[in-house]
C-alpha cells in the first residue's frame, strides 16, 4: 500500500511540473521554446504581433483568462489543426492553469515549426497571484 501511495504522489508531482526540455528566457534554445516568469511573460505580451494562447478548457477560459488571449484547448480533438492557423513566424505565448499543459503545447507547437513559443511558468495561477489582470 505504501508503494502505491508513493507512486501516486510521484505521478501527481510529475504531472504538475513543466517539461524539462525548456530553458529560461535568459538563454536561447534550439527548439525555440522559452520558459518565462510572470514579469517576463507580461513584457512579452506587450510586443506587437504576439499571439497569446490559453490551452485550458473552454470552461476554464470562461472563468477567467489573460487579456487578448485566445482559447485553443490542448485536450480537445483537433488541437494541432487549430494551432496551425496561427502565424508560425510570430511569437506565441502559451499558458494553462499551472504550466504543465502549456509546456506540452509549446513542445507540440515547436515540433510543428513555430519559431518562438514561450510558456508561462506557473500558469494563470502565478499570473493571478502576482496581481496581473484577468478578464
Q: Let me know if 19 is exposed, middle or buried by CB neighbors in 10 A (0-12, 13-18, 19+).
A: middle
Looking at the predicted structure, is the pLDDT value of residue 9 above 50?
no
pLDDT exceeds cutoff 60 at 8: no
Q: Convert the pLDDT of each residue in 106-116 to its tens digit.
A: 999 999 999 99
pLDDT at residue 4 in the model: 37
Any idea which fold 2-129 has? Oxidized Rhodanese; domain 1 (3.40.250)
> Domain residue spans in the chain?
2-129
SS3 118: strand
| Per-residue pLDDT tens over the stretch 12-67 | 333 443 333 344 443 344 468 999 999 999 999 999 999 999 999 999 999 999 99
Cα–Cα distance, 59 to 49 (Å, whole number): 26
Q: What does the block give as the cell for 37?
A: 516568469
For the chain, how many residues are written? 135
10 Å CB burial of residue 48 (0-12, 13-18, 19+) is exposed
In percent, the amount of the chain with pLDDT more than 90 equals 76
Active-site option among 96, 98, 109, 120 = 96
pTM: 0.77
Mean pLDDT for the chain? 84
Q: Under a CB-based contact definition with an 8 Å cutoff, are residues 117 and 92 in contact?
A: yes
Q: What is the pLDDT of residue 122?
A: 97
Given this model, what pLDDT does residue 32 score?
82
15 is catalytic: no
Amino acid at each position: 500500500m505504501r508503494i502505491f501511495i508513493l507512486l501516486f504522489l510521484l505521478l501527481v508531482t510529475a504531472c504538475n511540473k513543466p517539461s524539462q526540455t525548456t530553458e529560461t528566457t535568459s538563454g536561447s534554445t534550439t527548439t525555440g521554446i522559452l520558459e518565462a516568469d510572470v514579469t517576463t511573460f507580461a513584457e512579452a505580451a506587450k510586443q506587437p504581433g504576439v499571439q497569446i494562447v490559453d490551452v485550458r478548457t473552454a470552461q476554464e477560459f470562461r472563468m477567467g483568462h489573460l487579456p487578448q488571449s485566445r482559447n485553443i484547448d490542448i485536450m480537445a480533438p483537433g488541437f494541432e489543426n487549430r494551432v496551425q492557423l496561427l502565424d508560425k513566424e510570430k511569437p506565441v505565448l502559451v499558458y494553462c492553469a499551472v504550466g504543465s499543459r502549456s509546456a506540452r503545447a509549446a513542445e507540440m507547437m515547436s515540433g510543428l515549426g513555430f519559431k518562438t513559443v514561450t510558456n508561462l511558468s506557473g500558469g494563470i495561477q502565478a499570473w493571478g497571484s502576482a496581481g496581473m489582470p484577468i478578464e
